[in-house]
A and B are shown apart, each in its own frame.
Chain A
Amino acid sequence: SQQGEEDPQALSIQEGENATMNCSYKTSINNLQWYRQNSGRGLVHLILIRSNEREKHSGRLRVTLDTSKKSSSLLITASRAADTASYFCATCSSNTGKLIFGQGTTLQVKP
């Protein structure tokens, strides 16, 4: 079974609003990563947060990690139509190093 579970499955917002996506996982991790996938394309790495980090920023992206709750969130601030895509969390196992993906959140940003 997949490691990460994402919530919500789909999100529709207006341009300029913030978008928040959540990810929960089950086992011990080395790090947690977020990826973006535009329709019909490959995945692009957005940000990596290590298990000993609690928050990380990259441009309009903010990621938090709560290892006690085994959960992470991705916040996209001041969203743009170009942010429309699917977003996936992926956990890197402490034991195996394997990268296991969640089912993803589909984000639609309306102009």
Chain B
Amino acid sequence: NAGVTQTPKFQVLKTGQSMTLQCAQDMNHEYMSWYRQDPGMGLRLIHYSVGAGITDQGEVPNGYNVSRSTTEDFPLRLLSAAPSQTSVYFCASSRQDTTEAFFGQGTRLTVV
């Protein structure tokens, strides 16, 4: 049982490049979300999804896009990376939006 899997674990991008952070869960959870974690800031919600085909914005959505074509996958896209997007990104899933969340191991992204 893999739980929540994030790839890649580490990534270095140049300013202006694009990339997709992958997140997959095998628990058949409806609710999935993306957070970024910066020193002294805790975790901030970027985007979330309450089910396939449904996404919504969190606290800090600018510069990020998401889609949810299947229950299992919830990729996060950076269309034009900026140094301000240097952070550790966590994907999480839960059975419902009010139950405990299961987190991936994170993707450490550096934008130079």
Mark A residues whose CB is within 8 Å of B.
Answer: 1-2, 4, 30-31, 33, 35, 40-45, 48, 88, 90, 92, 96-104
Contacts and interface: CB of A to CB of B under 8 A. Distances in A.
Contacts, number: 66
For chain B, the bracket of interface size reads 20 to 34
20 contacts: A2-B44, A35-B103, A40-B106, A42-B104, A43-B92, A43-B101, A90-B101, A92-B98, A96-B97, A97-B31, A97-B96, A97-B98, A98-B33, A98-B97, A99-B45, A99-B92, A99-B97, A100-B59, A101-B42, A101-B45
B100 A33 contact: yes
Contacts of B94: 99
B47 to A, nearest CB: 11
Contact of B33 (A99, A102, A103): A99
A44 B90 CA distance: 12
Contact of B42 (A31, A41, A102): A102
Contacts of A97: 31, 50, 96-98
B42 A2 contact: yes
Contacts of A88: 42-43
B41 A103 contact: yes
B74 interface: no
A74 to B, nearest CB: 15
A93 to B, nearest CB: 9
Nearest to A41: B105
Given A98-B48, A99-B33, A100-B59, A45 B100 contact: yes
Nearest to B100: A45
Q: What are the 8 closest A-B residue pairs judged by CB atoms, nearest first?
A: A97-B97, A42-B103, A103-B42, A101-B43, A45-B100, A43-B103, A42-B105, A101-B42
